[in-house]
Amino acid sequence: MNKIFTLIKKEWSEVFKNRIVLFSVAFLPVIFSAIPLAILYAINTSGDVGNFSMEELYSQMSNLCGELNVVECNQYVIITQFMPLFLMMPVIIPITIASYSIVGEKLPAHWNLCSLRQLPLQSY
């Protein structure tokens, strides 16, 4: 069990050394959560736009929303549009960590693109 914790500690220490991996692990879920919240805030604070009102949107989607009022129906529609982003997060984060752990072991920090081209294509 101690070896597992050592491996996890090593992987997380590598995650915090690389900005791209850190961004995908820490900030991507925050951004995916902030976008729908910002849209919901903008919709709730804005008034009617021209001849279009939220009441017309609600009347068109009354069969989708059921017993929800106008505000709850708007929230429901916006959140369901962003659900694929939340479903992709459990896939994006481990793939990013795994790909960096493979590439990060092969490439020391002082290597550049020229030395990368000289790497063998097969691993023994």
Domain that holds residue 38: 2-117
Letter for the amino acid at 24? S
Buried b (16+ CB within 10 A) or exposed e, 79-109: eeeeeebeeeeeeebeebbeebeeebeeeee
Residue 55 lies inside a defined structural domain of this protein: yes
Residue 123 lies inside a defined structural domain of this protein: no
Residue 71 lies inside a defined structural domain of this protein: yes
77, with CB counted inside 10 A (0-12, 13-18, 19+), is middle
pLDDT tens-digit map of 89-123: 889 888 887 887 777 666 555 555 555 555 566 66
Task: Look at residue 49 in the predicted model and tell me its pLDDT.
Answer: 56
Residue 124 lies inside a defined structural domain of this protein: no
Letter for the amino acid at 58? Y
Most confidently predicted of 43-52, 70-79, 97-106: 70-79
Domain count, the chain: 1
Average predicted confidence (pLDDT) for the chain: 75
Residue 107 lies inside a defined structural domain of this protein: yes
Q: Which residue, among 6, 20, 27, 32, has the nearest Cα to 97 in the 3D structure?
A: 20
Residue 19 reports pLDDT greater than 70 = yes
Residue 38 lies inside a defined structural domain of this protein: yes
